[in-house]
Structure 1
Amino acid sequence: MAYPGWAGAATEGLNRRNRGVLHASEHVLYQSRFSKDSSDLFLGERKESWEILYNAVDVDHFAPAEVAPAGGPVLLLGGDQTQAYRLELALRTFRRVLDAEPAARLLVTGWLVSSAETLLAELELRAHVEFLGRYAQREAPGILRRAHALLHTKVKDPCPSLVIEAMACGLPVVYPASGGTPELVGSEAGIGVSHPESWDRDEPPSPEALADAVARVLADRDVYGAAARRRAVERFSLRPWLDRHSELFHQLVQ
């Protein structure tokens, strides 16, 4: 599903194709309630067979570190930084975190859509931010275990696997309270920060609001982290997800 805030003039062209596939399908799996509601809005409500099935995680492979990372608090901005605002927001948020926590560090993964050098210099962050580049999925647990919390800056994210994987590794999540992310994190595994809701443009929370949420999570990170792991195991384990797909495929071929 495309919306004007990120797809611009291409929105209807993308949705025309998606609309045809959606309504021609025998059964549809929506990744979140947000995915269902936004699909209804832009692609038309589906009357036929559908269900919501969240993404899943191998909770044995993605598990907490035996020993928490040493030193000051470490934040992780994970995934690819394919929208410029996501990295800029993370850096401006981290600047405020660093003012309160001088030993804090920020890890940034993935492909960068634009250079961060100018902003790093402006905010005097170069010595406190580490860019890890792109990584293979097998490396993901090790990267997650290097952090104390996940800073997820994407708005309207339908069902980010990164968030589920981080929770499985015991990382609380700080994020914009939109999209499907609040459904994943709930009230106990992190803090969502409200922001203006619009389909015409992405308007994320302010760095100040996100930094305040980071401070609150770090102040009680053991409780948030344990809740994150528990929620991932109870709600997003891989085995039930695989079983449901097997059941569906069996039904569809009968």
Structure 2
Amino acid sequence: MKIGFPVPAEGKGGTKTWMMAFQNYCIAQGHQVFCKRMDVDVFVSLANFASFDMLEALKAKKTKMIYRMDGIFFDYFIESQLMRKDFNDLVAATIESAHKVVYQSQFSKEVASHIVDVDNIPGTVIYNGADTRFFKPEGPILERPKDKKIVLSIAYWGPPMLAQYSIQQFIDIAKCFVNHKDIEFWILGEAYPENEAKIIEADLPNVTKINLHEQVPREDMPTYIRTADIIMHLRPNDACSNLIIEAMNVGKPIVGLDLGSTPELLGDAGLRCESEPSFTEFPKINPMSMYEQIIKTFDDYAFYQQKILERGKLFTLEKMCQAYLREMNNLVENKS
């Protein structure tokens, strides 16, 4: 099968990570992968990567198209309202042009309903999956303090205003633990300069900053996750977090917000802090609630570790890629 994509897979962010993993799987299965070519059996569009002109060209050639739906921009995500409108208009047009929409979660479908009538468009839910060759309990770990428990979070969270929100939550939560000398917070990966400044200004003795100036190489993430004791996920209204799914397969307990797809992904295998859902402003979360969830997780660590490992079996790269290829084959063979 010839499979087309709108852009190259190189780059940072969850969408590009997904593209690289899925393309490699397709090639290993004997399929051909192309970029910006319309003469393919099926075209996979993502985010806002397919332009209006590209959508028209695909329609003219009657090329079958699957759209992997991530999310939309809300008013509070970015300062430019024009950029928000342009992004959402293109996402809506891509959904309406697709022969099949793949939502990364039920929450992703709910988000799409803000801009299109999703009930009249063929769609299905396929969750992301981790590559279990690398994201597994066995493997190297980094040097770490032997007398401390480590809670790991990441610094890069997409659009600048969204990243700023998540970093502020990280700081507020870390402040709750200043008197816990046995618990340390690690913040990892490339940060926007203003967010790095915010972390430095907070000057918290229980926060360790790990290379905030550059992107973490993909191949290093399993080692960082294995080194930590708990993974803390702080992005609100996420469609389907790679970090959560990867941590599951490594077998690290996860704490997160009671927002977005996080409840779907974690089920009863991880604790979530009190949060007030909102699509009109950044959701409000209770830092002390997250404090309590972290303490509870450490208190019953073996239980949550086993639960999360079992849960991770639902979210593997193999399962995800097979599901996408089934949808593609059905389209090509006119079964859906």
- Label 1:81 to 1:247 Cα distance change in 2 as closer, same or farther (>3 A): closer
Confirm or deny: 8 A CA contact 1:81 1:110 kept in the other structure: no
Q: CA deviation at 1:168?
A: 1.0
Confirm or deny: 8 A CA contact 2:187 2:207 kept in the other structure: no
Choose which of 126, 139, 143 in structure 1 pairs with 2:224: 143
The whole-number CA distance in structure 2 between the counterparts of 1:241 and 1:81 is 23
Confirm or deny: 8 A CA contact 1:32 1:159 kept in the other structure: yes
Confirm or deny: 8 A CA contact 1:156 1:178 kept in the other structure: yes
Matches within 5 A, 1:173-212: 173-188=254-269, 190-212=270-292
Q: Structure 2: where are the runs of 5+ without partners?
A: 1-71
Secondary structure in 1 aligned to 2:77? helix
Confirm or deny: 8 A CA contact 1:97 1:215 kept in the other structure: no
Counterpart position of 1:80? 156
Of the two structures, which has the highest relative contact order with CA contacts closer than 8 Å and spacing of 6 or more?
Answer: 1
Choose which of 76, 82, 105 in structure 2 pairs with 1:5: 76
Choose which of 241, 244, 248 in structure 1 pairs with 2:323: 244
The whole-number CA distance in structure 1 between the counterparts of 2:322 and 2:267 is 24
Secondary structure in 1 aligned to 2:246? helix
Matches within 5 A, 1:1-254: 1-7=72-78, 9-10=81-82, 11-65=84-138, 70-78=146-154, 80-82=156-158, 83-99=163-179, 101-113=180-192, 114-117=194-197, 119-122=199-202, 124-126=203-205, 128-133=207-212, 134-188=215-269, 190-233=270-313, 235-254=314-333
Residues 194-203 or 66-75, more deviating: 66-75
Confirm or deny: 8 A CA contact 2:155 2:188 kept in the other structure: yes
Instruction: Provide, for residues 61-101 of structure 1, a one-character-per-residue CA deviation record: whole Å limited to 9, x for no partner.
Output: 211257997432100002614411211211221221232x3
Confirm or deny: 8 A CA contact 1:56 1:241 kept in the other structure: yes
| Structure in which a larger fraction of residues adopt helix | 1
- Label 1:119 to 1:62 Cα distance change in 2 as closer, same or farther (>3 A): closer
The whole-number CA distance in structure 2 between the counterparts of 1:81 and 1:131 is 16
The whole-number CA distance in structure 1 between the counterparts of 2:195 and 2:118 is 40
User: CA RMSD for the aligned pairs?
Assistant: 2.2
- Label 1:202 to 1:247 Cα distance change in 2 as closer, same or farther (>3 A): same
Secondary structure in 2 aligned to 1:43? coil
| Structure in which a larger fraction of residues adopt strand | 2
Q: CA deviation at 1:223?
A: 1.0
Q: CA deviation at 1:152?
A: 1.0
Instruction: Provide, for residues 212-245 of structure 1, a one-character-per-residue CA deviation record: whole Å limited to 9, x for no partner.
Output: 1111111112111111111011x11221212122
The whole-number CA distance in structure 2 between the counterparts of 1:115 and 1:7 is 15
The whole-number CA distance in structure 2 between the counterparts of 1:74 and 1:245 is 36
The whole-number CA distance in structure 2 between the counterparts of 1:119 and 1:48 is 44
Q: CA deviation at 1:127?
A: 6.0
Bigger radius of gyration: 2
Percent of paired sites with the same residue: 19
Q: Which amino acid aligns with 2:287?
A: P
Q: Structure 1: where are the runs of 5+ without partners?
A: none
The whole-number CA distance in structure 2 between the counterparts of 1:231 and 1:57 is 12
The whole-number CA distance in structure 1 between the counterparts of 2:139 and 2:190 is 29
The whole-number CA distance in structure 1 between the counterparts of 2:282 and 2:261 is 15
The whole-number CA distance in structure 2 between the counterparts of 1:79 and 1:127 is 16
- Label 1:93 to 1:225 Cα distance change in 2 as closer, same or farther (>3 A): same
Confirm or deny: 8 A CA contact 1:104 1:128 kept in the other structure: no
Confirm or deny: 8 A CA contact 1:120 1:126 kept in the other structure: no
